[in-house]
Amino acid sequence: MPTEADRVGISAYHLRLAAYYAAQGIGTYHPKGYSWFDRVEVYIESHWTADKEPEKSMQVLRVEFYDAHVRLRYIEFGMVLAGFGGVPVLKLVTSKTRSKLPPLPPRQE
């Protein structure tokens, strides 16, 4: 039984190609050397929706393949947060570390 992707001609090759153009960023591309399409468009289908829990936030990118003015195929990618890190911006202040902090500037009224 063919899947929906099989019926519209989406193969692993098409997914890899679409992922390549999605990684290139938003815009229109005119690649050379392909016989079945002459234009690729990448755009935001759904803007970033933030959630209280960062892992539930999401955005959708759409990659469309065109031949002349006919859209042949499109592939949508759901982008979710996969990880994060960096230098801490918040630090725990204890009685020992409080004495090391610089004094507050005087208030101006």
Q: What is the pLDDT of residues 98-109, one digit of tens each?
A: 666 677 788 887
The domain containing residue 18 runs over which residues? 4-80
Does residue 108 lie in a domain region? no
Closest among 104, 100, 92, 62 to 79, alpha carbons compared: 62
Does residue 89 lie in a domain region? no
Does residue 8 lie in a domain region? yes
Integer distance in angstroms from the first to the last C-alpha of the chain? 77
Indicate the number of domains in the chain.
1
Flag whether pLDDT at 68 surpasses 70: yes
Q: Is the pTM of this model over 0.75?
A: no
Closest among 60, 23, 66 to 41, alpha carbons compared: 66
